[in-house]
Amino acid sequence: MHKLLILLFLSFGFSSFGQHRLIKSIAVDKNKQLTTDNLGNSYVYSDLNIIKYNSEGDSIGLYSNNRLGAISSVDVTNPYKIMVFYADYANIIFLDNFMSLMEEPLALDQLGFDQVTLACSSQENGLWIFDRLKQTIIKLNRDLTQSNKSINLSQLTGKQIIPTLMLEQNSNLFLQTINNDILQFDQFGTFEKKISVSTTSPIQIINQQVMFFENDTIFQYNPKFTKLAYIQAPSIGAKTARISKDRLIILTENRLLIYDYKTPKRD
């Protein structure tokens, strides 16, 4: 991967990080994770709690729960209906934009799904789940009835799928695996293609482009034109970085840094 990144540096346009103004630096506890919505908000979370920050870095919401196990993922694709998945007990909760609980926890095992290792929101107000045992992605409607499912993905790839991230954007579902594969499906769970990007970092999909952070660099890959642009982050020991509207948001071991963001140049 490092050799590939060097080749990309030589082949594509570069955007200096110096253009981006630091708006706020916020102290955070260690061992936190980061996600962002499309409104410029940041969500810093640990096993038990989630803190929401607005685009200016002000703390505007907190959710904490020690009864459902550890938080596995936070999906803010819809910032007005935030989905929090607890894999240990296959529970899902939904929060509103004030970080308040919208309804009682959803127990997937009571719906007959007791091998779920990943879940994400659907734009149709439903959700997607990944069944580890059956190696399938399953789409549930808003009434929690099953509407679609994929084929056995191990038959598709020739090996067992161990996904690390699942998200839906623009009526497409993206599945990122432990083997660095990124698989794209349509809104019915039908496999479309494998995206020609290999990364261990969590991806973002923005305007049908794949974004990911590696080696203090944010890469922006356009599958349609097989073009890549990138911006160089400062050498601050960043754990991860994400783009959210007009903000570049970076999480280090103990700081959340919020910058204004300008679109990187392309060749």
**Domain presence at residue 133:** yes
Roughly how many angstroms between the first and final C-alpha of the chain, as a whole number?
Answer: 22
pLDDT value at residue 232 = 82
Number of domains the chain is built from? 1
**Domain presence at residue 266:** no
pTM for this structure?
0.90
What is the C-alpha to C-alpha distance for residues 62 and 70, in angstroms, rounded to an integer? 16
**Domain presence at residue 267:** no
**Domain presence at residue 154:** yes
Strand partners, 149: 138
Nearest to 218 by CA among 190, 179, 189, 247: 247
**Domain presence at residue 145:** yes
**Domain presence at residue 211:** yes
What is the C-alpha to C-alpha distance for residues 155 and 161, in angstroms, rounded to an integer? 10
**Domain boundaries, position 206:** 2-260
Q: Please report, for the domain that includes residue 250, its CATH number.
A: 2.120.10.30
The first and second tokens of residue 16, run together, are: 């200096």
Residue by residue, pLDDT tens for the chain (267 residues) are 433 343 333 334 444 444 678 999 999 999 999 999 999 999 999 999 999 999 999 999 999 999 999 999 999 999 999 999 999 999 999 999 999 999 999 999 999 999 999 999 998 899 999 999 999 999 999 999 999 999 999 998 889 999 999 999 999 999 999 988 999 999 999 999 999 888 889 999 998 899 999 988 999 898 876 767 888 887 578 999 999 999 999 999 999 999 998 765 544
**Domain presence at residue 190:** yes
Residue 101 DSSP code: B
Burial 24-53 (b: 16+ CB within 10 A, else e): eebebeeebbbbbbeebbbbbbbeebbbbb
**Domain presence at residue 57:** yes
